[in-house]
Amino acid sequence: MSPQFVDFDGDKQLDIVAGTFSGSPFVAIGSEKGWQQPVEIKDGKGDRIVLNQFWNYETKKWDETKRCDPEDALKQGHGTSAIAWDQDGDGDLDLLLGDYDGGYLYLRKNDGKPGAPKFVGRNKPVMVGGKPLNVGKMSTPRIVDWDRDGLMDLVCSSMGDAYGDGDGGGVWLFLNTGSQKTPFAKAQLLIPLSKKESKQEPLRPDSGLYADVADCDGDGDLDLVVGGYTHMPKKGNAENEDTRTSCVWLYENKTSKKGPTTGAAKIR
């Protein structure tokens, strides 16, 4: 899951939006008394919002559908992360859905009004340089004004190979171009793909990278906090030995920058 604090229903109280491994996004509505238990975010017709694969709560089995496919369908997708933000600038919150399986990022447009969402029935791939954005097994997208130009940029992190010996995950930055047609520029790597090189002590998060962005040390630049697994060498001969250890890491930004960076610029 990828929790996001955001005023989803427009009542001035922060709600919590999160994608889940079930394949659908949920929201915990906030109030002065706290958060309600999460409920599924549905589209304008009351249908589940999914990519392709989803957990069917009725049959209690994994299921799939093409109901929400874009016109030019991509590889089968599994939506496990979600954030709400106004991508098309029409005043209401759309959804960005991260694809754990195919690695793409999809827009689910909101044709409703602030506080009264009416999400359309189909997903639309987010494009970069004329091609669908793809970071390979996406963990989560985040929205932040990275370069402080007043436009919200996109930070995406990836799972990498969380179960085998393949390369691990990384974190990418896509700067906002200000264009509705091609809103994001080509990727820049913030954290390179892991080669899983830890020996005695964990050196970095290798797989399952979940990143968030904020100036956590108050020095005026944006730091990264990244959850994930570190893959340590095997201690025994068992084939199924799980050598992964999980925790949350801080990547402190050492770039000298001037000008304020505040929490208000973090996420709408």
Partner 1 sequence: MVMNHKTLISLAGGLCIAAASPAQNPGDTFAPPVRLKAGEKFVGEQRYFPSPVFHDMNGDGSLDIVVGDLVGKLTVALRRPGDGPIAFEAETTLKAADGKDLKFHNW
Residue 176 interacts with partner 1 (CB under 8 A): yes or no: no
Residue 16 interacts with partner 1 (CB under 8 A): yes or no: yes
Q: Choose which of 47, 88, 217, 241 interacts with partner 1 (CB under 8 A).
A: 217
Compose the 219-238 pattern: x for residues touching partner 1 by CB under 8 A, - for all others: --xxxxxxxxx---------
Q: How far is residue 261's CA from residue 234's CA, in Å, rounded to a whole number? A: 42
Which of 18-26, 69-77, 104-112, 117-125 is the region at the interface with partner 1 (rule: CB under 8 A)?
Answer: 18-26
CB of 248 to partner 1, least distance (A): 4
Going by C-alpha positions, the residue among 57, 46, 107, 47 that lies closest to residue 82 is 107
Residue 164 interacts with partner 1 (CB under 8 A): yes or no: no
Token pair recorded at residue 242: 């799980």
Residues 41-60 that bind partner 1 (CB under 8 A): 55
Please identify, using beta-carbon distances, which residue of 123 and 139 lies nearer to partner 1.
139
Please identify, using beta-carbon distances, which residue of 110 and 253 lies nearer to partner 1.
253
Burial group, residue 99, by CB count within 10 angstroms (0-12, 13-18, 19+)? buried
* Geometric angle at alpha carbon 127, from 262 and 97, rounded to 5°: 65
Binders of partner 1: how many residues, by CB under 8 A? 74
Residue 22 interacts with partner 1 (CB under 8 A): yes or no: yes
Looking at the DSSP bridge assignments, the partners of residue 140 are 157
Please identify, using beta-carbon distances, which residue of 115 and 129 lies nearer to partner 1.
129
Residue 246 interacts with partner 1 (CB under 8 A): yes or no: yes
Lookup result for tokens 């520029």:
185
Give the DSSP letter string of 151-216: S-EEEEEE-B-SSSSS-B--EEEE-B-S-SSS-BPPPEEEEPPP----SSS--S--EEEEEEEE-T
